[in-house]
Structure 1
Amino acid sequence: MSFLDRIEERPGAAELRAESYRLLGLKRGATCVDVACGAGHAAAELAAKGLKVTGVDPDAEAIVAARERAPGAMFHVAHSDDLPLEDESMDGYRAVRLFHLLEDPVPTVTEAWRVLRPDGRIVLGGQDYGFLLIDSTDQDLTDVVLLGLESRTVSPRAARSLRDVLLDTGFRDVEVVVRTEVVTDHAVMAEQLKAAAAGAVDKALITQEDADDWLAEQADRGKHDRFLAVLPTLLVSGRR
């Protein structure tokens, strides 16, 4: 849970959530489901805007935290491809930071189509790990290390395909917005850097010595205010 909280409380996270709400474009009293709602940050903010919010997440611990954060919303422990909702019961559907975890996005988007009313709005989003940028004196090594980070998730480049998936499902007025987070605090990214290096070693892309040297360089950059990471997040919206 602390990880989920850190993700939603990072610089730029509130602005990203606000952009997703703008793309939803829902008025007070509208119904909205937040899929992969995590600890309920978005659900709480949407409820505060006067929406009738339902949060869904497969993690029971996350749902406990979400209920505490947004007592006015309704929550369910469920998977994104099998929502406990009636057909055409939602005016809005939001799912951010989900699709990199799914082998196939189609069942989830098909389920979104089922629960949305005609003319309902959908907003999907997530980071595309293929666009992640980290500065280094050895950029070739860094690119290989980042492949190690990609190896740690199911579908690291899923976000770039979301526009196609929405169009293929039948959604209209599909729009893509990119929000970019710039991180200059090494501590914010330290655990992800370690995971990336470990993943690259596990895949035999680099040696352990390469990984140690790269991590040491990134830590040194942090100490001297030279660390830089750029993380674009794609938001893709449409209308049923």
Structure 2
Amino acid sequence: MSFLEQIEERPGAAELRAASYRVLGLKRGASCVDVACGAGYAVAELARKGLKVTGVDADPAAVEAARLRAPGAMFHVAHSADLPLEDESMDGYRALRLFHLLEDPVPTIAEAHRVLRPGGRIVVGGQDYGFLLIDSSDQDLTDVICLGLESRAVSPRATRTLRDVLLDAGFQDVEVSVHSQVVTEHQQMAPQLKAAAGAAVEKALITQQDADSWLGEQSRRGRRDRFLAVVPTLLVGARR
């Protein structure tokens, strides 16, 4: 599977997608755009619910994978701040796992406001890297390594700003919910742990010896069934 497909098939991913659909609350026949649609899992699921779905992603390869998963949907290769959609043409707007990649969420939210009809629903969100929890015997070192993970994203804490951004853009009835994924399988997060420790070394936050020691501890925790990570995702819903 591609990386995008692996993300959508992790434990808890289907439940998170379902939670985002509940926030939208769209009825059969409504139109919806899924921005940063990735491999098209949400597009396909929303289409099966009877919605008229358009998928948008800046990555042509992602759009090609999404077309195969949801052949009846409409797709565009486009940036989230420049959607090829008419004004007030959508009943729903969805964008998850996008905002940590953007330097500024404001143009994207302004574009969402433009394409939604009055009364239309929006749900945006994703992981806020500042909320990641990993158990360790050295929590101070763990916190520094998590900063290394944050350094790999353009805007690692962007999701916590989305309530303000939506209100400033004129959205109403803004609500925030948190959906946490509890991970007790070390292997499930081993690549992210290695990437975080490596980034912390690159940023001179820790030494390579610190990184190796911490990764070794996390691996031992996994073998002893003592590994624990909690990955919260924020969903922010509102009405146009």
How far off is 1:79 after superposition?
A: 0.5
How far off is 1:94 after superposition?
A: 0.1
How far off is 1:224 after superposition?
A: 1.1
Residue in 2 aligned with 1:14? 14
Give the match's secondary structure for 2:72.
Answer: coil
Q: Distance in 2 between matches of 1:198 and 1:169?
A: 38
- Identical-residue share of aligned pairs (%): 79
How far off is 1:231 after superposition?
A: 0.5
* Matched letter for residue 67 of structure 2: R
How far off is 1:221 after superposition?
A: 0.8
Residue in 1 aligned with 2:230? 230
Residue in 2 aligned with 1:34? 34
1:169-211 CA deviation, whole Å, 9 max, x = no partner? 0000000011000001111111110110011001100000000
1:23-70 CA deviation, whole Å, 9 max, x = no partner? 000000000000000000000000000000000001111101100000
Residue in 2 aligned with 1:117? 117
Residue in 2 aligned with 1:206? 206
* Matched letter for residue 185 of structure 2: D
Give the match's secondary structure for 2:62.
Answer: helix
Gaps of 5+ in 1: none
Give the match's secondary structure for 2:126.
Answer: strand
Residue in 1 aligned with 2:92? 92
Give the TM-score taking structure 2 as reference length.
0.99
Q: Distance in 2 between matches of 1:8 and 1:138?
A: 31
Residue in 2 aligned with 1:219? 219
How far off is 1:128 after superposition?
A: 0.5
* Matched letter for residue 38 of structure 2: G
Residue in 2 aligned with 1:23? 23
Q: Distance in 2 between matches of 1:6 and 1:189?
A: 12
How far off is 1:96 after superposition?
A: 0.4
Residue in 1 aligned with 2:59? 59
* Matched letter for residue 43 of structure 1: V
Gaps of 5+ in 2: none
* Matched letter for residue 143 of structure 2: D
How far off is 1:6 after superposition?
A: 1.1
Give the match's secondary structure for 2:149.
Answer: helix
Q: How does 1:145-184 map onto structure 2 within 5 Å?
A: 145-184=145-184
Residue in 2 aligned with 1:128? 128
Q: Distance in 2 between matches of 1:63 and 1:188?
A: 26
* Matched letter for residue 192 of structure 2: Q
Q: Distance in 2 between matches of 1:36 and 1:188?
A: 24
* Matched letter for residue 38 of structure 1: G
* Matched letter for residue 238 of structure 2: G
Residue in 1 aligned with 2:74? 74
Give the match's secondary structure for 2:234.
Answer: strand
* Matched letter for residue 145 of structure 1: I
Q: Distance in 2 between matches of 1:190 and 1:95?
A: 27
What stretches of structure 1 move > 4 A for 4+ residues in a row?
A: none
Give the match's secondary structure for 2:227.
Answer: coil
* Matched letter for residue 101 of structure 1: L
Give the TM-score taking structure 1 as reference length.
0.99
Q: Distance in 2 between matches of 1:67 and 1:4?
A: 14
* Matched letter for residue 122 of structure 1: I
How far off is 1:223 after superposition?
A: 1.1
Residue in 2 aligned with 1:144? 144
